[in-house]
Amino acid sequence: MPRLDAKSPTPRRAGVNLFRISSATTWPSYWTIKEASSTNPATNLLFALLCLTSFDIAEPFAQQYPHLKQSLQLAVSSYGQEFIFSPPTHPNSVAVCLFLAEFRPTLLATSQFVAHKAVSPEVYVNLAYRIAERLNTLPTRDASFFDELMNPQSLEFERCFNDSVQELKILSLDFGLDGFLSKTLPLMRAIFGDMQPHVDAYQHVLRYRECSLTVIFHIQWNMSFYVLLEGLIHAKQCWSSPESLFLVVEEVERKCQEQIKISNSLLLNATGQGRREDLSTARSLLEMKFHWVFAGICGLGLLYTSVLRTRLIEGKNDGDPDIQSNESLQIVDQVAGSVNSPPDAPGQYLSGFLKRFGEVYPQQLVRVLESFLECAEVQIDGIAFNAPLQQVVYGIVFVCKNLVENNFVQVRVFGRLARNHEKQLALFPKCARCIRQMAVEPWKSTKSAFATGCVYAASSKIIYGLHNILERLRTELAKGTKSNEALDFFNIPPDLSSIGLNYDGDFGPMNISGM
């Protein structure tokens, strides 16, 4: 393997603004240079990854130095194998894991046969979690850490803040690995308790310290997870009471709207605002995230009320807060039953929930796509926004999937598509094109990028496929085809169970009721 003669970065901070690489990814944000090359495989791999990334997003640079790129690819492969089998207990190990999980999950795959298994972030997130534990940074911090973080005069603020944000990122990624619905109340409360001192410290920082755009962005991004987790806890502990669940969903809606306003105000008043493009990207990403949080809780409320209706009708309502997978598959039948039942039938609060949130849910999903496009179309120094996979891209794919499923439900129950389906059809290809442009070597064809294991290219292809499904369904209905016959073209049974009406995935619920 050719030896890299570049100097090695260390975890001490000093000046690279990685906010412009991705506003949603936390890193050691500053580096100093050692005079001698490092023997730490994590440091070597991190440096090689960052260099290779610069080649992948800048065509002239890649064409000018093709042999250097090949050397970097070999270095990444060699250091990567050493790192996976013997990861050092070092802060750069955590940074490497997060980078691979968010941007290049298939990079260390040795063949196409295993590349699709590498798309899941599980290996990297679990590894980052264990290394962080060995570094004594998870799951909790001692009081002195938060004293340093909240001290306006502290010279260690940047180090403490970056460590805090990175720790919460690991917690949030780990929390989402098996889907939100599978998490127990004690586990969610424990994670919420671990987050609380960080969030309290952030509020103190915002109140007493002049904050940069990057600091504000990461505080508010973590606030979105905090609001989501709080909503999940309240919903799970009270969903046997429809009235209480209704109030939980409305409270999350209020908090998300409030946080969007707070984010915009903080960003406009940030110190050293930087470029207009930075401000626009941060604002759009935060708006996207909070719309997603409310959509997720709104969808969860629909699922809970549907399952509760089933249990009441079947006389099986034992107060168990956990939902079984077979119960989540019955949601479409419950929606149809509620719409077509008399007002005094059991479980008719579902009809009230649908009247309040049935139209709001797809509207929120559309707002997620619109906010994504606002930041995805921004370029800084000629370089397009490169969104992280776990936090953004997979979520956009799931939103498109959920909108298609929601339309199938609308056709099944009401005999028509969603009222905003025309806007959805216009947004899908735009999102697919933007994600395609984030692909490794975007100047190459989608087919070529897909063949080499580029997850951005694969995500783009999926969204185009979803667009084709929705377009075909609209065409069939426009020709006067009856709703049941239109569904038959897609081999979908009456309960729609074959289109994945269940909860799973990192970015959130993957069904008609959530992201």
Whether residue 5 is contained in a domain is answered as no
Residue 379: in which H helix or E strand, if any? strand 379-380
pLDDT band at 26 (very low <50, low <70, confident <90, very high): very low
Q: Which one has a higher pLDDT value, 486 or 467? A: 467
Alpha helices in 239-359 (DSSP H): 242-268, 276-314, 325-328, 331-340, 349-357
Q: Which one has a higher pLDDT value, 49 or 444? A: 49
Pairing of strands 383-384, 379-380: antiparallel
pLDDT at residue 327, rounded to an integer: 59
% of residues, the chain, pLDDT over 90: 43
The 10 Å Cβ neighbour count of residue 484 is 12
Q: Residue 383: is its pLDDT beyond 80?
A: no
Sign of CA dihedral 200, 202, 206, 208: positive
pLDDT band at 180 (very low <50, low <70, confident <90, very high): confident
Question: What's the pTM value of the predicted model, to 2 decimals?
Answer: 0.84
The Cα 192–Cα 185 span in angstroms is: 10
Lowest mean pLDDT among 35-49, 273-287, 457-471: 35-49
Q: What angle do CA 276, 280, 281 make, to 5 degrees?
A: 120
Q: What is the mean pLDDT of the chain?
A: 81
Residue 383 phi/psi, 5-degree rounding, is: -105, 125
Are 427 and 467 in contact by the 8 Å Cβ rule? The answer is no
Q: Residue 196: is its pLDDT beyond 50?
A: yes
Coil, strand or helix at 207: helix
Q: Residue 141: is its pLDDT beyond 60?
A: yes
pLDDT band at 447 (very low <50, low <70, confident <90, very high): confident
pLDDT band at 510 (very low <50, low <70, confident <90, very high): very low
pLDDT band at 320 (very low <50, low <70, confident <90, very high): low
Tokens representing 122 are: 């599980």
Query: Smallest Cα–Cα separation from 19: which of 277, 234, 292, 222?
Result: 277
pLDDT at residue 454, rounded to an integer: 84
Whether residue 288 is contained in a domain is answered as yes
Whether residue 134 is contained in a domain is answered as no
Residue 384: in which H helix or E strand, if any? strand 383-384
The Cα 491–Cα 39 span in angstroms is: 57
pLDDT at residue 492, rounded to an integer: 60
Give the torsion through C-alpha atoms of 229, 234, 239, 242, to 10 deg.
-120
Whether residue 376 is contained in a domain is answered as yes
Q: Which residues contact 169 (CB under 8 A, 6 or more apart)?
A: 25, 26, 98
Kindly report, residue by residue over 277-286, the tens digit of the pLDDT.
Answer: 888 899 999 9
Q: Residue 482: is its pLDDT beyond 90?
A: no
Kindly report, residue by residue over 50-66, the tens digit of the pLDDT.
Answer: 988 888 776 677 778 87
Q: Mean pLDDT over residues 257-268, rounded?
A: 96
Q: Residue 433: is its pLDDT beyond 90?
A: yes
Q: Mean pLDDT over residues 433-443, rounded?
A: 80
pLDDT at residue 19, rounded to an integer: 37
Whether residue 483 is contained in a domain is answered as no
The Cα 334–Cα 20 span in angstroms is: 46
Q: Which one has a higher pLDDT value, 183 or 25? A: 183
Q: Residue 3: is its pLDDT beyond 60?
A: no
* Domain that includes residue 257, residue range: 209-386
Whether residue 441 is contained in a domain is answered as no
Whether residue 219 is contained in a domain is answered as yes
pLDDT at residue 324, rounded to an integer: 62
pLDDT band at 326 (very low <50, low <70, confident <90, very high): low
Number of domains observed in the structure of the chain: 1
Q: Residue 328: is its pLDDT beyond 60?
A: no
Lowest mean pLDDT among 145-159, 267-281, 344-358, 392-406: 344-358
Q: Residue 117: is its pLDDT beyond 80?
A: no
The Cα 318–Cα 283 span in angstroms is: 44
Whether residue 397 is contained in a domain is answered as no
